[in-house]
Amino acid sequence: MSMMNRYSREEIEGMSKQEFMSKADYHAVLHESPCGFEVACLIRESTNHADQKKAFEIQKDMILGLIQGTPHFHMVESNVFEEVVSGLKAEKREAFKLMRKRAGEHKFDILVVDAVSRLARNVKDLMIVIDDLKELGIGIFIVKGEYWTYNMDYTGIMMFSIEGGLAQAESMQTSARVKSHMGELAKKQLLGGDMFGYRLKKEVERSNNTLEQEPTEAYIVKLIFEKFCSDDPNETLTSSSLCQYLIENRYFTYKGDLKWTSSKVIRILDNTKYMGYQLPGKSEVVDPVKKKRVLTHVEPIRNEWE
Protein backbone atom coordinates (compact mmCIF):
# COMPACT_ATOMS: atom_id res chain seq x y z
CA MET A 1 0.00 0.00 0.00
CA SER A 2 1.32 3.42 -0.89
CA MET A 3 2.23 5.68 2.03
CA MET A 4 0.37 8.42 0.15
CA ASN A 5 -2.85 6.66 1.19
CA ARG A 6 -1.97 7.27 4.85
CA TYR A 7 0.13 10.41 4.81
CA SER A 8 0.27 13.57 2.78
CA ARG A 9 3.35 14.39 0.69
CA GLU A 10 4.17 17.14 3.19
CA GLU A 11 3.97 14.70 6.13
CA ILE A 12 6.23 12.19 4.34
CA GLU A 13 8.77 14.85 3.43
CA GLY A 14 8.78 16.04 7.04
CA MET A 15 9.69 12.61 8.40
CA SER A 16 13.17 11.83 9.65
CA LYS A 17 15.01 8.96 8.00
CA GLN A 18 14.33 6.57 10.88
CA GLU A 19 10.68 7.60 11.13
CA PHE A 20 10.18 6.95 7.42
CA MET A 21 11.92 3.56 7.67
CA SER A 22 9.69 2.52 10.58
CA LYS A 23 6.47 3.43 8.73
CA ALA A 24 7.38 2.43 5.16
CA ASP A 25 6.90 -0.88 3.39
CA TYR A 26 8.92 -2.43 0.55
CA HIS A 27 7.36 -0.31 -2.20
CA ALA A 28 7.55 2.93 -0.21
CA VAL A 29 11.27 2.40 0.42
CA LEU A 30 11.77 1.84 -3.30
CA HIS A 31 9.58 4.63 -4.69
CA GLU A 32 8.49 7.18 -2.05
CA SER A 33 11.50 8.02 0.07
CA PRO A 34 11.91 11.72 0.91
CA CYS A 35 15.63 11.29 1.57
CA GLY A 36 18.68 9.46 0.27
CA PHE A 37 19.95 6.18 1.69
CA GLU A 38 23.41 4.72 1.89
CA VAL A 39 22.97 1.10 0.85
CA ALA A 40 25.00 -2.11 0.86
CA CYS A 41 24.35 -5.38 -0.91
CA LEU A 42 25.09 -9.01 -0.09
CA ILE A 43 25.47 -11.40 -3.02
CA ARG A 44 25.90 -15.11 -2.26
CA GLU A 45 26.02 -18.51 -3.92
CA SER A 46 27.00 -21.74 -2.20
CA THR A 47 29.64 -23.08 -4.60
CA ASN A 48 31.89 -22.20 -7.54
CA HIS A 49 30.27 -24.76 -9.86
CA ALA A 50 29.68 -23.54 -13.40
CA ASP A 51 25.90 -23.24 -13.08
CA GLN A 52 26.17 -21.34 -9.79
CA LYS A 53 28.86 -19.05 -11.19
CA LYS A 54 26.37 -18.01 -13.85
CA ALA A 55 23.62 -17.63 -11.24
CA PHE A 56 25.97 -15.50 -9.13
CA GLU A 57 26.58 -13.10 -12.02
CA ILE A 58 22.86 -12.88 -12.80
CA GLN A 59 22.13 -12.19 -9.13
CA LYS A 60 24.85 -9.53 -8.98
CA ASP A 61 23.67 -7.79 -12.16
CA MET A 62 20.09 -7.70 -10.89
CA ILE A 63 20.99 -6.30 -7.45
CA LEU A 64 23.42 -3.68 -8.78
CA GLY A 65 20.96 -2.74 -11.51
CA LEU A 66 18.21 -2.16 -8.95
CA ILE A 67 20.47 -0.01 -6.76
CA GLN A 68 21.84 2.03 -9.66
CA GLY A 69 18.32 2.53 -11.02
CA THR A 70 16.96 3.90 -7.73
CA PRO A 71 17.89 7.62 -7.50
CA HIS A 72 17.79 7.81 -3.68
CA PHE A 73 20.00 4.70 -3.24
CA HIS A 74 23.72 5.49 -3.00
CA MET A 75 26.40 2.82 -2.67
CA VAL A 76 30.19 2.80 -2.42
CA GLU A 77 32.25 -0.14 -3.67
CA SER A 78 33.32 -1.17 -0.16
CA ASN A 79 29.67 -1.88 0.65
CA VAL A 80 29.40 -4.65 -1.97
CA PHE A 81 29.78 -7.94 -0.11
CA GLU A 82 30.28 -11.03 -2.28
CA GLU A 83 30.76 -14.61 -1.08
CA VAL A 84 30.73 -18.14 -2.43
CA VAL A 85 29.97 -20.20 0.65
CA SER A 86 27.13 -22.03 2.35
CA GLY A 87 24.70 -19.81 4.23
CA LEU A 88 24.28 -22.28 7.09
CA LYS A 89 27.00 -21.03 9.45
CA ALA A 90 27.56 -17.30 9.91
CA GLU A 91 31.02 -17.80 11.48
CA LYS A 92 32.28 -19.39 8.25
CA ARG A 93 31.19 -16.43 6.09
CA GLU A 94 33.91 -13.79 5.87
CA ALA A 95 31.92 -11.36 3.67
CA PHE A 96 28.92 -11.72 5.98
CA LYS A 97 31.10 -10.91 8.99
CA LEU A 98 32.57 -7.90 7.20
CA MET A 99 29.05 -6.69 6.41
CA ARG A 100 28.14 -6.99 10.12
CA LYS A 101 31.28 -5.04 11.03
CA ARG A 102 30.50 -2.19 8.63
CA ALA A 103 26.90 -2.18 9.84
CA GLY A 104 28.21 -1.68 13.37
CA GLU A 105 30.22 1.29 12.08
CA HIS A 106 26.98 2.74 10.57
CA LYS A 107 28.39 2.69 7.03
CA PHE A 108 24.97 2.07 5.46
CA ASP A 109 21.23 2.40 6.15
CA ILE A 110 19.84 -0.42 4.02
CA LEU A 111 21.14 -3.89 3.10
CA VAL A 112 19.83 -5.20 -0.24
CA VAL A 113 19.72 -8.95 -0.88
CA ASP A 114 18.15 -11.06 -3.60
CA ALA A 115 16.29 -13.57 -1.41
CA VAL A 116 15.87 -14.73 2.18
CA SER A 117 18.15 -17.71 1.54
CA ARG A 118 20.99 -15.40 0.41
CA LEU A 119 20.93 -13.75 3.81
CA ALA A 120 21.11 -17.03 5.76
CA ARG A 121 20.02 -20.66 5.57
CA ASN A 122 19.84 -20.92 9.32
CA VAL A 123 16.64 -19.62 10.97
CA LYS A 124 18.48 -18.63 14.14
CA ASP A 125 21.14 -16.59 12.30
CA LEU A 126 18.44 -15.09 10.08
CA MET A 127 16.44 -13.70 13.00
CA ILE A 128 19.56 -12.54 14.84
CA VAL A 129 20.89 -10.50 11.91
CA ILE A 130 17.49 -8.88 11.31
CA ASP A 131 17.16 -7.84 14.97
CA ASP A 132 20.80 -6.75 15.27
CA LEU A 133 20.66 -4.57 12.16
CA LYS A 134 17.35 -3.05 13.22
CA GLU A 135 18.94 -2.13 16.57
CA LEU A 136 21.58 -0.31 14.54
CA GLY A 137 18.92 1.54 12.55
CA ILE A 138 19.42 -0.59 9.42
CA GLY A 139 16.68 -2.24 7.37
CA ILE A 140 17.05 -5.25 5.06
CA PHE A 141 15.48 -4.94 1.62
CA ILE A 142 14.80 -8.43 0.17
CA VAL A 143 13.78 -8.44 -3.49
CA LYS A 144 12.17 -11.88 -3.83
CA GLY A 145 9.17 -11.84 -1.56
CA GLU A 146 9.33 -8.03 -1.33
CA TYR A 147 10.30 -7.96 2.35
CA TRP A 148 11.27 -4.84 4.27
CA THR A 149 12.49 -6.12 7.63
CA TYR A 150 12.46 -2.78 9.45
CA ASN A 151 8.67 -2.73 9.44
CA MET A 152 6.93 -6.08 8.95
CA ASP A 153 3.36 -6.83 10.00
CA TYR A 154 2.34 -10.22 11.43
CA THR A 155 1.66 -11.64 7.95
CA GLY A 156 5.09 -10.56 6.71
CA ILE A 157 6.82 -12.04 9.75
CA MET A 158 4.96 -15.33 9.29
CA MET A 159 5.84 -15.59 5.60
CA PHE A 160 9.42 -14.53 6.24
CA SER A 161 9.81 -17.18 8.96
CA ILE A 162 8.39 -19.85 6.66
CA GLU A 163 10.85 -18.93 3.89
CA GLY A 164 13.74 -19.02 6.36
CA GLY A 165 12.63 -22.43 7.61
CA LEU A 166 12.32 -23.76 4.07
CA ALA A 167 15.84 -22.53 3.26
CA GLN A 168 17.25 -24.33 6.30
CA ALA A 169 15.22 -27.46 5.56
CA GLU A 170 16.51 -27.54 1.98
CA SER A 171 20.11 -27.48 3.22
CA MET A 172 19.35 -30.22 5.75
CA GLN A 173 17.72 -32.31 3.00
CA THR A 174 20.78 -31.89 0.78
CA SER A 175 22.99 -33.00 3.68
CA ALA A 176 20.81 -36.08 4.17
CA ARG A 177 21.00 -36.97 0.46
CA VAL A 178 24.80 -36.66 0.44
CA LYS A 179 25.03 -38.79 3.59
CA SER A 180 22.81 -41.46 2.04
CA HIS A 181 24.81 -41.43 -1.20
CA MET A 182 28.13 -41.78 0.63
CA GLY A 183 26.63 -44.62 2.66
CA GLU A 184 25.68 -46.49 -0.50
CA LEU A 185 29.19 -46.04 -1.91
CA ALA A 186 30.64 -47.38 1.32
CA LYS A 187 28.38 -50.46 1.35
CA LYS A 188 29.38 -51.33 -2.20
CA GLN A 189 33.02 -50.40 -1.53
CA LEU A 190 32.87 -48.04 -4.52
CA LEU A 191 35.46 -45.34 -5.06
CA GLY A 192 34.08 -41.88 -4.44
CA GLY A 193 36.39 -39.62 -6.45
CA ASP A 194 39.84 -38.17 -7.02
CA MET A 195 42.44 -37.78 -4.29
CA PHE A 196 45.85 -36.14 -4.23
CA GLY A 197 48.19 -38.43 -6.19
CA TYR A 198 45.39 -40.38 -7.85
CA ARG A 199 42.58 -39.78 -10.31
CA LEU A 200 39.36 -41.73 -10.54
CA LYS A 201 39.05 -43.69 -13.78
CA LYS A 202 35.34 -44.23 -14.40
CA GLU A 203 33.94 -47.33 -16.07
CA VAL A 204 30.44 -48.20 -17.26
CA GLU A 205 29.97 -50.34 -14.15
CA ARG A 206 30.85 -48.22 -11.11
CA SER A 207 32.17 -51.30 -9.32
CA ASN A 208 34.94 -51.41 -11.95
CA ASN A 209 36.13 -47.87 -11.26
CA THR A 210 39.81 -47.67 -10.39
CA LEU A 211 42.31 -45.11 -9.15
CA GLU A 212 45.19 -44.25 -11.44
CA GLN A 213 48.37 -42.57 -10.27
CA GLU A 214 49.08 -38.97 -11.12
CA PRO A 215 52.87 -39.45 -11.17
CA THR A 216 54.05 -36.07 -9.84
CA GLU A 217 51.50 -35.93 -7.05
CA ALA A 218 52.06 -39.61 -6.16
CA TYR A 219 55.76 -38.85 -5.78
CA ILE A 220 54.91 -35.99 -3.37
CA VAL A 221 52.68 -38.29 -1.31
CA LYS A 222 55.49 -40.85 -1.07
CA LEU A 223 57.93 -38.09 -0.13
CA ILE A 224 55.64 -36.80 2.64
CA PHE A 225 55.33 -40.26 4.21
CA GLU A 226 59.07 -40.92 3.92
CA LYS A 227 60.04 -37.60 5.48
CA PHE A 228 57.49 -37.87 8.26
CA CYS A 229 58.20 -41.54 9.14
CA SER A 230 61.96 -41.65 8.58
CA ASP A 231 64.02 -43.69 11.06
CA ASP A 232 66.80 -41.14 10.72
CA PRO A 233 66.14 -38.31 13.21
CA ASN A 234 68.11 -35.96 10.95
CA GLU A 235 65.70 -36.66 8.08
CA THR A 236 62.42 -36.68 10.02
CA LEU A 237 60.20 -33.64 9.43
CA THR A 238 57.10 -32.48 11.28
CA SER A 239 53.98 -31.42 9.39
CA SER A 240 54.95 -27.74 9.64
CA SER A 241 58.55 -28.49 8.54
CA LEU A 242 57.19 -30.53 5.65
CA CYS A 243 55.16 -27.50 4.52
CA GLN A 244 58.30 -25.41 4.38
CA TYR A 245 60.22 -28.19 2.60
CA LEU A 246 57.49 -28.62 -0.04
CA ILE A 247 57.27 -24.89 -0.65
CA GLU A 248 61.04 -24.38 -0.88
CA ASN A 249 61.36 -27.27 -3.33
CA ARG A 250 58.36 -26.11 -5.36
CA TYR A 251 56.19 -29.17 -4.92
CA PHE A 252 52.70 -28.04 -5.90
CA THR A 253 49.36 -28.78 -4.21
CA TYR A 254 46.33 -30.31 -5.91
CA LYS A 255 45.31 -26.80 -7.02
CA GLY A 256 48.69 -26.17 -8.62
CA ASP A 257 49.87 -23.61 -6.07
CA LEU A 258 52.36 -23.61 -3.20
CA LYS A 259 49.84 -22.93 -0.44
CA TRP A 260 50.82 -25.87 1.73
CA THR A 261 49.55 -25.88 5.33
CA SER A 262 50.06 -28.30 8.21
CA SER A 263 46.42 -29.36 7.95
CA LYS A 264 46.85 -30.32 4.28
CA VAL A 265 49.89 -32.44 5.11
CA ILE A 266 48.12 -34.08 8.07
CA ARG A 267 45.09 -34.90 5.90
CA ILE A 268 47.40 -36.82 3.55
CA LEU A 269 49.06 -38.66 6.44
CA ASP A 270 45.68 -39.49 8.00
CA ASN A 271 44.10 -40.70 4.75
CA THR A 272 43.79 -44.48 5.13
CA LYS A 273 43.30 -44.93 1.37
CA TYR A 274 47.04 -44.40 0.84
CA MET A 275 47.53 -47.62 2.84
CA GLY A 276 44.93 -49.49 0.79
CA TYR A 277 42.14 -49.14 3.35
CA GLN A 278 38.71 -47.60 3.09
CA LEU A 279 37.34 -46.00 6.23
CA PRO A 280 33.75 -45.06 5.34
CA GLY A 281 31.67 -43.49 8.07
CA LYS A 282 34.65 -42.64 10.29
CA SER A 283 32.65 -39.64 11.45
CA GLU A 284 28.99 -38.74 11.41
CA VAL A 285 27.27 -35.36 11.14
CA VAL A 286 24.85 -35.19 14.06
CA ASP A 287 23.79 -31.59 13.44
CA PRO A 288 23.64 -30.58 9.74
CA VAL A 289 23.10 -26.91 10.62
CA LYS A 290 26.08 -26.54 12.96
CA LYS A 291 28.03 -29.19 10.96
CA LYS A 292 28.80 -30.93 14.24
CA ARG A 293 30.63 -34.24 13.72
CA VAL A 294 31.35 -37.12 16.06
CA LEU A 295 33.80 -39.98 15.52
CA THR A 296 32.24 -43.41 15.02
CA HIS A 297 35.44 -45.44 15.67
CA VAL A 298 34.79 -47.84 12.78
CA GLU A 299 37.47 -50.34 11.80
CA PRO A 300 39.21 -49.89 8.42
CA ILE A 301 38.48 -52.36 5.63
CA ARG A 302 41.22 -53.49 3.25
CA ASN A 303 40.18 -52.88 -0.36
CA GLU A 304 40.23 -55.93 -2.62
CA TRP A 305 41.52 -53.85 -5.53
CA GLU A 306 44.77 -53.03 -3.73
pLDDT the model gives residue 160: 79
Q: Which residue has the higher pLDDT, 78 or 273?
A: 78
> What's the pLDDT tens digit per position in 256-301?
899 999 999 998 998 878 877 766 566 666 555 555 666 656 665 5
Whether the predicted pLDDT of 201 surpasses 90: no
Q: What is the average pLDDT across 16-44?
A: 93
- Beta-sheet pairing, 73-74 with 283-287: unpaired
Question: What mean pLDDT, rounded, does the chain reach?
Answer: 84
pLDDT at 37 over 90: yes
pLDDT tens digits, one per residue of 84-120: 887 667 778 899 999 999 999 999 999 999 998 888 8
Residue type, 261: T
Task: With a cut of 80, say whether residue 20 has pLDDT above it.
Answer: yes
User: What pLDDT sits at residue 108?
Assistant: 97
* Strands 198-201 and 147-148, sheet pairing: unpaired
Domain ranges, ordered by start, for the chain: 36-167, 188-276
* Range 36-167: architecture per CATH: 3-Layer(aba) Sandwich (3.40)
Q: Beta strand pairing status for 210-213 and 198-201? A: antiparallel
